[in-house]
């Protein structure tokens, strides 16, 4: 298996079918699987059964734990994440697997939208990544990344103490261990903006988690 697409979810907020269909409708000619990863909600298995995809069930409602559990069953050499409220562009897997080369993680551009595909913006990440840039702010659009499964486990997977900013922590962890990032000059992800997003809720917890992450990695800065 070349790629495992992992879709974490704890409920269907109205877009889960669209997310799964975007994962299944890739123009990629290699082999890939789709895993619907539920953090404690067994009722989501009906979606996996409907589409004939794999189902992972974690024991608690924690995104980092959910991803760690799902990747234990993933068969792909590479991992592609997809939020249940977003979409993969049809060219996502073909472009990212073409661009990654010998690197450990590849990232690209995202189309940010609201409503019925009303364009808000195109994310423009830096073409070159350093620890200092990522520490200053998470300048990588998490939905656009594809990475090697073995490096995920080499750095211990996702930090389950976090409820927010898990991807930012993961990128910093990869960088301090010397893993390499590369940029793919393509739009591979469609990111939905809406008022139910985690980033717009629980500001105090988000601030606490960000401060925890800064404390973990500050000592690695030159």
Split the chain (222 residues) into runs of 10 and give each run's mean pLDDT: 95 94 97 96 96 94 92 98 96 98 97 80 93 96 97 97 94 98 97 68 83 96 82
Domain range spanning residue 135? 3-220
184 touches 99 (CB < 8 A): yes
Number of CB atoms found within 10 A of residue 56's CB: 23
Report the CATH number that the domain containing residue 202 is assigned in CATH: 3.90.550.10
Supply the pLDDT for residue 46. 97
State the total domains in the chain.
Answer: 1
Q: State the pTM of this model.
A: 0.93
* Sign of the alpha-carbon torsion through 77, 186, 84, 34: negative
Tell me what pLDDT residue 195 has.
Answer: 65
Other beta carbons within 10 Å of 176 = 16
- Distance in angstroms (rounded) separating the CA atoms of residues 34 and 30: 13
Pairing of strands 146-148, 78-81: antiparallel
């Amino acid at each position: 298996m070349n790629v495992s697409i992992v879709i974490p979810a704890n409920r269907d907020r109205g877009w889960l079918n669209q997310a799964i269909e975007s994962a299944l409708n890739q123009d990629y000619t290699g082999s890939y699987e789709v895993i619907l990863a539920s953090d404690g909600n067994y009722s989501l298995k009906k979606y996996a059964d409907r589409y004939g995809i794999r189902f992972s069930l974690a024991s608690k409602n924690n995104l980092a734990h959910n991803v760690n559990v799902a990747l234990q069953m993933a068969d792909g050499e590479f991992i592609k994440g997809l939020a249940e409220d977003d979409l993969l562009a049809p060219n996502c897997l073909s472009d990212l697997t073409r661009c990654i080369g010998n690197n450990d993680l590849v990232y690209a551009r995202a189309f940010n939208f609201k409503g019925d595909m009303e364009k808000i913006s195109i994310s423009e990440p830096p073409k070159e990544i350093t620890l200092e840039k990522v520490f200053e702010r998470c300048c990588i659009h998490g939905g656009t990344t594809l990475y090697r499964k073995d490096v995920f486990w080499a750095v211990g997977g996702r930090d389950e103490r976090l409820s927010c900013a898990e991807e930012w922590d993961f990128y910093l962890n990869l960088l301090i261990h010397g893993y390499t990032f590369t940029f793919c000059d393509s739009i591979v992800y469609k990111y939905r903006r809406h008022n139910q997003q985690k980033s717009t809720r629980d500001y105090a917890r988000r601030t606490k988690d960000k401060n925890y992450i800064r404390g973990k990695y500050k000592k690695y800065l030159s």
